[in-house]
Amino acid sequence: MGLVRLADTPLRGLNTFGIDARARLLWRLESLDDLPQLHQALRDDARSGHPQPPLVLGGGSNLLIADDPQQPIVQMALRGIRIVGDDGKSVIVQAAAGEAWDPLIRWTLSQGLAGLENLALIPGTVGAAPIQNIGAYGVELRDCFESLDAINLVSGTARSFSADDCAFGYRDSVFKHADGENWLVTSVRLRLSRTADLKLDYGEIRAELTDAHIVAPTPTNVADAVSRIRRRKLPDPAVIGNAGSFFKNPLIETELAAALSAREPGLPCWPSGGQVKVSAAWMIERCGFKGMRVGDAGVHERHALVLVNHGHARGSDILALARQIRGAVETRFGIRLEAEPMVVGAAQL
């Protein structure tokens, strides 16, 4: 098929929040050979006066559609995983942007490669992983990132990005800012190891392994443990619409963290690069939002960081609840929460 053009397309099945919305125009890219055609089609659409830049859609797992998007959508459907480098100790794996993230991890584990196990069961696609610098259980994508290939949807220029070029931060990269918003990631390369250096001391991983009577864990054991923990804590989007953690854990200065801890006993804090990361979930729960429901928009009963769609919430309903939560946390704690998902069709949170 290569490049597929769809007009007035329903998006409910293409975003994990399950928001009813429609795309004016959607292009599904299935082959790199069709990049020139896609670039020309987007240029023609822009000349017709339609909003730009296009919205790149992967698995729809880090997205809140507040209203019908008017910019064209590019859905990544590129496939392929292969080993492109091997020095005997480390291996470079290249995966196309449209590959699903968790199946990629399972493929690397089947090849005897370690490094991604703590990132198991994170929803979404490979192409979205560096944009968000996904992370979980003490590991971030940048820890095993080698490079990526991308094409500029405005100029048509292709280039590779190193880790420095990507400017990775906490759930952040150059692609989330003005200088990088026109780049379409087409493939990602990851440097993995044949020798496991397991990270077991974050969250409940070690306890989960102990409960399973595993004393000498393998990377696959760790991935399985992380998956079980995530399934217990986070709701399945196939059952109830959500985008995982909606807010980032804020990074604050040490002095403010000390003052807050004195005033708010029990506030979870973790040192992080000269600053302190504090628990957004804890603050949201202390403000009384855990389990709250406003119409079909709500906060999950087991995890205060997860906003949910109980069935027929509009994107604007989820956004209104998020703003209410942010205001309450800022009033009580003096900290302004930042959303993880991209908000489309409305002003940012």
Residue-wise pLDDT for 173-200, tens only, equals: 999 998 888 899 999 999 999 999 999 9
Give the three-class secondary structure for 164.
helix
pLDDT at position 25, please? 96
Same-domain pairing of 97 and 204: yes
Tell me if residue 187 is catalytic: no
Which residues, at least 6 apart from 160, have a Cβ–Cβ distance to it below 8 Å? 147, 148, 149, 150
Same-domain pairing of 71 and 90: no
Same-domain pairing of 109 and 226: yes
Least confident of 1-10, 89-98, 331-340: 1-10
pLDDT at position 191, please? 98
Spot the catalytic one: 99, 140, 208, 340. Answer: 340
Average pLDDT across the chain, whole number: 94
Alpha helices in 155-279 (DSSP H): 163-166, 205-211, 219-233, 254-263
The number of folded domains in the chain is 3
Look up the CATH number of the domain holding residue 49.
Answer: 3.30.43.10
Average pLDDT, stretch 70-91? 95
Spot the catalytic one: 146, 147, 171, 286. Answer: 171
Tell me if residue 330 is catalytic: no
pLDDT at position 75, please? 95
Q: How far is CA 163 from CA 94, 133, 166, 245, 328, in A?
A: 15, 11, 5, 25, 37
Cα–Cα distance between 167 and 301 in angstroms, integer? 35
Same-domain pairing of 87 and 229: yes
With respect to residue 8, please indicate whether it lies within any of the assigned structural domains. Answer: yes
Look up the CATH number of the domain holding residue 130.
Answer: 3.30.465.10
pLDDT at position 180, please? 87
Same-domain pairing of 323 and 196: no
Whether 84 and 93 have beta carbons less than 8 Å apart is answered as yes
Same-domain pairing of 172 and 43: no
Same-domain pairing of 46 and 144: no
pLDDT at position 347, please? 63
Look up the CATH number of the domain holding residue 315.
Answer: 3.90.78.10
Average pLDDT, stretch 107-117? 98
Q: Is it the case that residue 163 has pLDDT exceeding 70?
A: yes
Same-domain pairing of 186 and 89: yes
With respect to residue 23, please indicate whether it lies within any of the assigned structural domains. Answer: yes
Cα–Cα distance between 234 and 245 in angstroms, integer? 9
- Which of 200, 233, 266 is the last residue in one of the domains? 233
Same-domain pairing of 326 and 201: no
Tell me if residue 279 is catalytic: no
Q: What domain range is 44 assigned to?
A: 3-76
Spot the catalytic one: 61, 173, 245, 279. Answer: 245
- Which of 169, 198, 233 is the last residue in one of the domains? 233
pLDDT at position 1, please? 58
Instruction: Please write the tens of the pLDDT for every residue from 233-288.
Output: 899 999 999 999 999 999 999 999 999 999 999 999 989 889 999 999 999 999 99
Same-domain pairing of 42 and 181: no
pLDDT at position 348, please? 65
- Which of 166, 201, 233 is the last residue in one of the domains? 233
Same-domain pairing of 207 and 275: no
